[in-house]
Amino acid sequence: MIDIRDRVRNSALHAKIVSAEEAAAIIKPGMNIGTSGFTPAGYPKAVPLALAERMKKEKFQVNLWTGASVGKELDGALAEANGIAKRLPYQTNEAIRKMINNGSIQYTDLHLSHVAQMARYGFLGGKVDVAIVEACAITEEGHIIPTTSLGNSASFVQDADIVIVEVNVTQPLELEGMHDVYIPKDPPNREPIPIVKADDRIGTPYIPCGVDKITYIVPCDLPDAVRPLAAIDDDARAMSGHLIEFLNNEIKHGRLPKNLLPLQSGVGSVANAVISGLVDSPFENLSVYTEVIQDGMLDLIDAGKLTFASGTSLTPSPEGLKRFYTNIAEYRKKILLRPQEISNNPEVARRIGVIAMNTAIEFDIFGHVNSTHIMGTKMMNGIGGSGDYARNGYLTFFFTSSVAKGGAISSIVPMCSHIDHTEHDVDVFITERGVADVRGLSPKERARVIINNCAHPDYQPMLLDYLERAEKATGFAHTPHLLEEALSWHIRFMQTGTMKK
Amino acid sequence: MIDIRDRVRNSALHAKIVSAEEAAAIIKPGMNIGTSGFTPAGYPKAVPLALAERMKKEKFQVNLWTGASVGKELDGALAEANGIAKRLPYQTNEAIRKMINNGSIQYTDLHLSHVAQMARYGFLGGKVDVAIVEACAITEEGHIIPTTSLGNSASFVQDADIVIVEVNVTQPLELEGMHDVYIPKDPPNREPIPIVKADDRIGTPYIPCGVDKITYIVPCDLPDAVRPLAAIDDDARAMSGHLIEFLNNEIKHGRLPKNLLPLQSGVGSVANAVISGLVDSPFENLSVYTEVIQDGMLDLIDAGKLTFASGTSLTPSPEGLKRFYTNIAEYRKKILLRPQEISNNPEVARRIGVIAMNTAIEFDIFGHVNSTHIMGTKMMNGIGGSGDYARNGYLTFFFTSSVAKGGAISSIVPMCSHIDHTEHDVDVFITERGVADVRGLSPKERARVIINNCAHPDYQPMLLDYLERAEKATGFAHTPHLLEEALSWHIRFMQTGTMKK
């Protein structure tokens, strides 16, 4: 077994060090398992792999609650063992996605800031039975030093009767001090979250736990299974350019300070490309208040443009992670990880005025956004934190390429096939074609700006035709729709392979 | 002219007292007019009526920004004079609704907590040019004592170059002291809103203005045009009963304190009936943190059940208003009015953990809510504050009768024709039939609970049939829909006058 005794600083705790198999044996069928992890960062690996082996033999299931998506050693292994009854609040794993869309896993897609409090309130079907969290180290007092994410770990540890800590020796000890753990009290005793700037520290650098509360400690030497980012393509470059131009104009008109406001950026290649594009912008002294810190933010730090980044997870590409580990002494001065209940908190997002930038699967001409479902039925990943920020941002952007599948799908449709963000929640849409600034506009005004500025030319005439016929048919009603046709673009795609007529 | 000199406590200001016509003359075509008023309470009356007369002769339009809906002397008169180009953020007036749905007024339907800050940020098409606010009195310092609502008055006064104060002699001076005015600073300088209980006072009892900033003072003797409430019917009584039973069970399971958490309740007859029903509940020492204080809350105060009610508007029925005025000395100890930016603030709603109770036009089997549109196209009123609270409540309820139009419309449909609140935002649905507790459930789980517990028996088999066929057709996808049929119920209603087959 890997020797982790130097990382378990209270020698009385050494007696609790067991193998992953021994720890996994404590889990009973039907339990609610709350784990660390937010994106493939900081999730437990050894115990889930051992649990999956046990599940294959014993045929049982648990409910899996995490921060967000997690790596293959957890989501993948448990799904392949058919070991998950209910999954929440977010996922990106192919095996799980398949099972969510064939009815074998029940999936509850939640606002990421809501999860910890809903678990504490007892709203998710019982309480957390077992918390499994990855750690760099355990302090003399039995407190847990987290690794590359915080997610819901602290709240899960607080709630669970059984706490299993995986001490991961691949996670550098320099991560210690990069966390700020704060668990809000529940109503009616909750107090203001005292954050007014991205770099405010309000909690402890560890997850409060205590020697007695730890059930098992398990060694692990598997690194985070981070994923490569797609190369920055022309569409992403164009969107980044449009964003910079738009923000410049806002500054010019006095609607934004010169160093902008704290940036929030969704997860994935497009979001990363947009952030990375800011390296070539005129903006200085930027700050970030977001959920996931990706390569683009390291680029901004390297370029001297970013003074501070607050998140709940550090998930660069494999190259980015290497870069981070190599320069951790410098990066740690400018990066802080918080519980997702704080990183994504509407209270803080609205107070500090985040610039919320997230990606859409599709949006419609009246400004509703689908972030989750393919053709209205199949779950892609989940809403994630987009709702936490979009509703509360100072300025709220949604990005997408104007077409998908080589032009067979228009990302701008008459009516979204699923709606995660409503017309009340978005300020600006950006595609590679341009910018639709819909602030203060009525639905019919929005429709023309969105069609003209964001839609692909192949679909612009079709969209305008729909709008004009709907206006006539409804007598220019507030949101003119032809209900018989509203979803016909999606139906046509499923029947013919293209939304084109 | 009505003598208001005793209510204008700085005699230097008496020189600014003019007729409504003189004040209205300062308004130029195309201006953004920001007024007091939230529901038919505390809105200006004399100047709008004079402005409407001028508009009829001179044929021009302005943009009208209010707190929410307002009375007929403002919305009705200006609409009839064809004097409104753009209206925001909410309305309930028949004349305006008609013009919104025939394209003659552009209407921007906003979360009510967002309006003041979006106006300050300059996001609504320029700034507020003229603020017109109703007052009880003006202080020696030139500060404004508001009347029966606060809405966006304070922020509009702060922003506007021209401030017109209507001193309304029908509003009792005892209203003084019932307001708590706090305008948040804008990012990056905003601080936590220091409210932790419904009765916390954090601001001033007046709208800060100052002698110099007041342009005109206009006397007015028209009372608030409050509207009668519909009699409490069997459906409302049943919903109230279901709510009480549900809350009792939550207390029993330790998920709510015995005195509940601060109640928020939507506007209108159903919402009022639900609140009024709490008079016969076992709950004591209740508090309210909401937008509109209606008769039901006076009932609760009279019954000794309610310790404090915080809102932004006081809008009882005509009888309720009489009751309030008669006993104002007592009621004023237990009622406080705040700016809607504070009464509806997500930060406060989530912190204190409001029990959010709002009404839906329709909801679908997967838990999405339509609060605004009839058959997906025609605007009814607007989203109001429902999104501010629903997303952030400790527990979020939506209420509706299971059918409308004598059974021709099912309020539970396969897919909503418009979505204002998503599946991520609702905990519990209540109809006269029963309670669907969807906390923690996946869409397919939600669908069965909603169909079984909330739908009308006439429509239950049709809904279940849709669900089962959609599950088969999509291979039990996450949110199984038959896109060809998803909106067919609405289409059928429009074609045949009933959703029944």
Q: What is the set of active-site residues of B?
A: 291
In A83-102, the residues whose Cβ lies within 8 Å of chain B are: 86, 88, 100-102
Predicted confidence at residue B141, as pLDDT, reads: 98
Q: Which amino acid is at B49?
A: L
Nearest Cα residue to A310 out of A290, A330, A340: A290
B474/A107 CB distance under 8 A: no
Tokens of residue B474, six digits: 């999509």
Contacts of A445 in chain B (CB under 8 A): 106
Residue B273 has what pLDDT? 86
Tokens read off for B372: 């605004």
User: What is the DSSP code (8-state) at residue B8?
Assistant: B
Contact present, B214 and B142 (Cβ < 8 Å):
yes
Q: Is B100 marked as binding a ligand?
A: no
From A410, A448, A409, A450, select the one nearest A429 (Cα to Cα): A450
Neighbours of A191 (CB within 10 A): 11
B383 CB near a chain A CB, below 8 Å? Answer: yes
Question: Between A460-474 and A443-454, two packed helices, what is the crossing angle to 10 degrees?
Answer: 170
d(CA A119, CA A116): 5
Distance CA A312, CA A152 (A): 9
Q: Do B118 and A440 touch (CB under 8 A)?
A: yes
B270 is known to lie in a ligand binding site? yes
B103/A contact by beta carbon, under 8 A: yes
Q: Which band of pLDDT confidence, cut at 50, 70 and 90, is reported for residue B272?
A: confident
Strands (E) in A89-161, as ranges, are 106-107, 130-135, 137-138, 144-145
B380 has a chain A CB within 8 A of its CB = no
CB atoms within 10 A of CB B494: 14
- Distances from the Cα of A225 to the Cα of A75, A316, A406, B137, B461, angstroms: 12, 10, 30, 67, 47
pLDDT over threshold 90, residue B274: no
Bond from prior residue into B208 cis (ω within 30 degrees of 0): no
User: Which of the residues B478, B483, B490 would you substitute to probe the A interface, choosing the one with the greatest number of A C-beta atoms within 10 Å?
Assistant: B478
Q: How far apart are CA A35 and CA A87, in angstroms?
A: 12
- From the list B125, B350, B477, the residue facing A347 with the nearest CB is B350
- Residue A386 identity: S
Nearest to A414 by CA among A360, A362, A475: A362
Query: Looking at residues B81-90, what average pLDDT do you find?
Result: 98
Between these two residues, A232 and B213, which has the higher pLDDT value? Answer: B213
Q: Does the beta carbon of B120 lie under 8 angstroms from any beta carbon of chain A?
A: no
Q: Is B40 exposed, middle or buried (0-12, 13-18, 19+ CB in 10 A)?
A: buried
At A330, the pLDDT band (50, 70, 90 cuts) reads very high
Candidates A109, A354, A442, A484: best to mutate against B (most CBs of B within 10 A) is A442
Cβ separation A440–B191 shorter than 8 A: no
The conformation of residue B181, written as its DSSP 8-state character, comes to B
Give the mean model confidence (pLDDT) for residues B311-335.
95
Q: Residue B81: which of B108, B50, B111 has the closest Cα? A: B50
For residue A134, the model assigns a pLDDT of 98
What is the per-residue pLDDT for B270? Answer: 82
Q: What is the pLDDT of residues A223-243, one digit of tens each?
A: 999 988 888 899 999 999 999
Q: Would you state the pLDDT for residue A276?
A: 87
Report residue A310's pLDDT band, with 50, 70 and 90 as the boundaries: very high
Nearest CA of chain A to the CA of B289: how many Å?
Answer: 13
Query: What is the sign, positive or negative, of the torsion defined by CA atoms of A165, A204, A139, A336?
Result: positive
Whether residue B136 has pLDDT greater than 90? yes
pLDDT band, residue A268 (cuts 50/70/90): confident
Sheet holding A434-437, edge to edge: A335-337, A306-311, A286-289, A263-265, A355-359, A395-399, A428-431, A434-437
Output DSSP code: residue B412.
E
Q: How does the average pLDDT of chain A come out, rounded? A: 97
Q: Delineate the domains of chain B, giving CATH numbers in brackets.
A: 11-220 (3.40.1080.10), 234-496 (3.40.1080.20)
Whole-number Å distance between alpha carbons of A203 and A417? 42
Provide the pLDDT for residue A395: 98
pLDDT of residue A267: 84
pLDDT (tens digit, 9 = 90+) per residue, A15-53? 999 999 999 999 999 999 999 999 999 999 999 999 999
CA A55 vs CA A25, A27, A43, A61, B466: distances in Å = 10, 10, 19, 7, 35
A354 is in an annotated binding site: no
Q: From the CB of residue B406, how many other CB atoms can be counted at a distance below 10 Å?
A: 7
Segments of B20-112 assigned E as strands? 32-35, 62-65, 84-88, 106-107
* pLDDT for A32: 98
Tokens encoding A370: 């689908």
Residue B20 has pLDDT above 90, yes or no: yes
Q: How far apart are CA A71 and CA A49, in angstroms?
A: 11
State the Cα–Cα distance between residues A51 and A10, nearest whole angstrom. Answer: 27
A440 and B CB contact within 8 Å: yes
pLDDT tens, B115-127?
999 999 999 999 9
Tell me the pLDDT tens digit for each residue of B423-480.
999 999 999 999 999 999 999 999 999 999 999 999 999 999 999 999 999 999 999 9
pLDDT the model gives residue B383: 98
Inter-residue contact A252 to A283 (CB < 8 Å): no
- In angstroms, what separates the C-alpha of A354 from chain B's closest C-alpha? 9
Burial tier of B180 (Cβ tally within 10 Å: 0-12, 13-18, 19+): buried
Average pLDDT over residues A166-182: 98
ipTM over 0.90: yes
CB B421 within 8 A of CB B390: yes
Is B70 labelled as part of a ligand binding site? no
Chain B: residue nearest A355 by CA? Answer: B187
